Chains A and B, each alone.
Chain A
Amino acid sequence: YDDPPGLNEKTEYLLREWVNIYHSPTSGRDSTRGFSTFVQQMHQQGILRTDDLITRFFRLCTELCVDLTYRLLQESNISPSLLNPTLVRAKCFHTLDAFVRLITLLVKHSGDAANSVTKINLLNKVLGIVVGVLQQDHDQRQTEFHQMPYHRIFIMLFYELNAPEHVLESINFQTLTAFTNTYHILRPTKVPGFSFAWLELISYRSFISRMLLQTPQQKGWPMYAQLLIDLFKFLGPFLRNVELTKPMQVLYRGTLRLLLVLLHDFPEFLCDYHYGFCDVIPANCIQLRNLILSAFPRNMRLPDPFTPNLKVDMLQEINSAPRILTNFVAVMPANFRKDLDSYLKTRAPVTFLSDLRGNLQLSNEPGMKYNVALINSLVLYVGTQAIQYIYSKGGTPSMSTITHSSHMDIFQNLSVDLDTEGRYLFLNAIANQLRYPNSHTHYFSCTLLYLFAEANQEAIQEQITRVLLERLIVNRPHPWGLLITFIELIKNPNFKFWNHEFVHCAPEISKLFESVARSCM
């Protein structure tokens, strides 16, 4: 780093000075009185002379705070009786909190009151410096890395910068953006040793509140959605391979807790981003996915799915399209999209159907054959186009209006032409749209039942049943659309559900179906 000679000593002296000022009773309200004298000292020491020196000062302060924490933690490991964990932490926080206050005051008072740019630039600079020290520490210490000092700096800095003060409120959205960028850079796939603290940070109640409730026009939602996707992407490989070590189980259970809070308090957020979340959640994480798909707008009253002769297509909400805030066609290659649109419009080129499986396939490696994101995107895109097409003809989605269309050609082609792996992923993509009463739920419910009724081989019907069944046998919650689809399948004699061999192939299977049927009745 080529720090100028003496800078380290100067910084240490200044930090020590500041810690004493911060804790002294005379430093006044929020240390402001102490701060103005301290800034004089910084000036005298030349720290504020150049941007480079300020940067070095913050890095050295961060390193000093971190080194102190490691030393105190080390001591407590040596003599745990003398230094109980609470005491050790209090001693660490004694310095860490002072450093956070210094950052907060420098951010608040940099540039004149109206100039938010200098404030935000300084905040981003400091966050970037702490991130840099953390990443280097993580890479150097490896399994000896300790998350606590960084966790404390981020959470207390977030807390202080969200104080109800005008100067902070006026830069709050940029502050949230700065923290979201920081947490995204520190996502678990990049800094796995920081994962538990990271989940604490994004679960922090005032972070959730600011991101999902207090920021106007839901501008915090896409940012928070990105952080959740970062979390799912980290968990994905371990969940898909069922490699759930104890630490992974703790992280997974922590994820469930956070999602339950979001499901309870911010269901509309889960509704709007369900597609993006399901795109990265492995197919075997049934309950995790059900939890997201079970979300429904709080002002909506769901009719009991077990109501006898429930007329789903008579429900008022069934013709409203749900908000989907993920750009779900982004993964579609341009010419694939062009051919798809052309086929949907004119049923040409005919080769589109015969080439479709090849377009969706990535390799011949079992379990890795297909481009799951493209299948998900294709299914939702074709479905939304089909719904628009039906409305344009003056109809509404139903078992009769969804048939004999280029859209259904594609779905039927996929159900026949794909192998069992591909068909499982395709049917999952459809089942992922079975949520609360809306036009997508209704259209895809009819589509799944239609594919079952029109199947030219029992394997298709078996796989449709399997995809529904595995989502029903897991612990609650269960999405409303899933329940009404399965109830229709087992109750409507036109589907001859109970005649199929796969319903009676083994006593456990029969029992499973009967118990699910009983709970559905």
Chain B
Amino acid sequence: PLNKDNMYQQAMLEASWRHMPHPSDSERLRHYLPRNPCPTPAYYHQT
């Protein structure tokens, strides 16, 4: 069964899930063509 620590871990995981890492967090800053994510139509090429 989950213990107190596990419950705390679950709560902290939940909180950090609200601000997940962003792809640009792992990339060098690009001044000229920075990422500007936006919802593009599903029928566009996604990769």
Contacts and interface: CB of A to CB of B under 8 A. Distances in A.
Q: Do A and B bind each other?
A: yes
Contact of B21 (A90, A138, A159, A196): A196
B10 A86 contact: no
B16 A156 contact: no
A200 B28 contact: no
Interface in B1-33: 1-3, 5-6, 8-17, 19-22, 24-26, 28-29
Interface stretch (A27-35, A235-243, A317-325): A235-243
Contact of B13 (A97, A148, A193): A193
Interface stretch (A139-147, A353-361, A404-412, A448-456): A139-147
Contacts of B26: 151, 155, 200, 204
Nearest to B16: A193
A90 B32 CA distance: 12
A237 B13 CA distance: 14
Interface stretch (A1-9, A127-135, A244-252, A421-429): A244-252
A189 B34 contact: no
Contact size range, A: 35 or more
Interface in A37-88: 73, 84-86
A243 B10 contact: yes
Contacts of A86: 24, 34-37
B1 A200 contact: no
A144 B12 CA distance: 9
B2 A143 contact: no
A159 B15 contact: no
A277 interface: no
A93 B37 CA distance: 17
Nearest to A367: B1
B28 to A, nearest CB: 7
A86 B22 CA distance: 9
B9 A147 contact: no
Contacts of B15: 142-145, 193
A250 B9 CA distance: 15
Contacts of B11: 143
10 contacts: A86-B36, A89-B22, A93-B24, A138-B12, A143-B14, A152-B25, A155-B26, A192-B12, A193-B13, A193-B16
Given A143-B11, A147-B19, 16 more contacts: A89-B22, A90-B29, A143-B12, A143-B15, A145-B12, A188-B9, A188-B13, A192-B16, A193-B13, A196-B20, A200-B21, A200-B25, A200-B26, A241-B1, A245-B14, A250-B17
